[in-house]
Amino acid sequence: MPTLRILDSITDRGDPFRANEDSSGGNRHCAFVIDGATGLGENLLQIGDSDAAWLAGFAKNCFEELSTPERPVADIVRTLNERVRAVITETLDGWQPEAWNLPVASFQMIRCGSDGVSTHGLGDCRLFLLGAGGTALDATALTGAREREQEGARRAIAHAGGLAKLKSLTKDPAIRDELRRSRALYNHPLGDVWTLGPEPDAAGHIASERLHPALPARGLLCSDGFAALVDQYARYDAASLVRKAASDGLVALLAELRMIEHREDPDGLAYPRFKVSDDATAVLFEIV
């Protein structure tokens, strides 16, 4: 049976005045990253620094508790989301908030078991994997998300007159309303985005893939904020990002990421995005 070992991890908040709403973790059988979606209104739960930060931490603990090689990921996610729903229902005493205000989070996981190596996810977190023979692959549950987000950010930046002065386009009322309309369709039959959060049926929409890397293999699990080095800023591809992480470390990659965002393109004109910097999290692992 393949064996997984976490070599390094890093996480960094995108805004020094806001909570870090990412998390990561693992056990002997899996590693994962979780990206809580920044809230578009007031916090509902008043637990922790923000609803999204609470969910990211809660999901981390559930994954580490529930993940075993024999247990299907869909069952784990359904149990996790049932627990989230129970917390929200109890905390709000039955009051039903707007759908866009519910806490949600993306995740990407890699697992090793008797049946080999597999990856599973919801939302826009990323996996980059490099096999011993030099063959690389990448995976995400939400294909095409980056292109749609860039186009939306491009329009929003034009409307707001620039990104740097706002730090986050979600502070603009018109843009925030549009984002709320979009998020209201998360975990809804009319939408195409399913997440961790209070909807157990999201378990039926997990993107899963059996992997066959030549071993030993190394890889990175990333929130979309860290994966921007590949997907947004095009400084690396899957193979070169994993090699750079293994040779120079995750601290160096994070410094490069923040240099692009704060020095090269703080106004989002070269690389349209909704925030100057997003929370960024990565886990470097090996499989032998």
Largest CA-CA distance found in the chain, in angstroms, rounded: 55
* pLDDT recorded at residue 167: 63
What is the rounded CA–CA span in Å between residue 165 and residue 81? 37
Tell whether the model's pLDDT for residue 234 goes beyond 80: yes
Q: Is residue 129 part of a domain?
A: yes
Tens digits of per-residue pLDDT, 94-105? Answer: 899 999 999 999
Tell whether the model's pLDDT for residue 148 goes beyond 80: no
* pLDDT recorded at residue 166: 64
Sheet with 217-222: list strands edge to edge. 4-12, 280-287, 217-222, 126-130, 136-139
* pLDDT recorded at residue 189: 95
Tens digits of per-residue pLDDT, 3-19? Answer: 999 999 999 999 999 99
The pTM score is 0.95
Tell whether the model's pLDDT for residue 21 goes beyond 80: yes
* pLDDT recorded at residue 174: 84
Q: Is residue 180 part of a domain?
A: no
Q: Is residue 148 part of a domain?
A: no
Share of residues in the chain with pLDDT > 90 (%): 82
Q: How many domains is the chain built from?
A: 1
Average of per-residue pLDDT across 216-226: 99
Tens digits of per-residue pLDDT, 152-203? Answer: 788 878 777 777 666 667 777 888 899 999 999 999 999 999 999 999 999 9
* pLDDT recorded at residue 168: 67
Q: Is residue 113 part of a domain?
A: yes
Domain holding 242, by residue range, is 4-143+195-267+275-287
Token pair 């973790």: residue? 25
* pLDDT recorded at residue 10: 99
Q: Is residue 183 part of a domain?
A: no
CATH code of the domain in which 73 resides: 3.60.40.10
Q: Is residue 49 part of a domain?
A: yes
Average of per-residue pLDDT across 234-259: 99
Q: Is residue 150 part of a domain?
A: no
Q: Is residue 232 part of a domain?
A: yes
Higher pLDDT, 97 or 144: 97
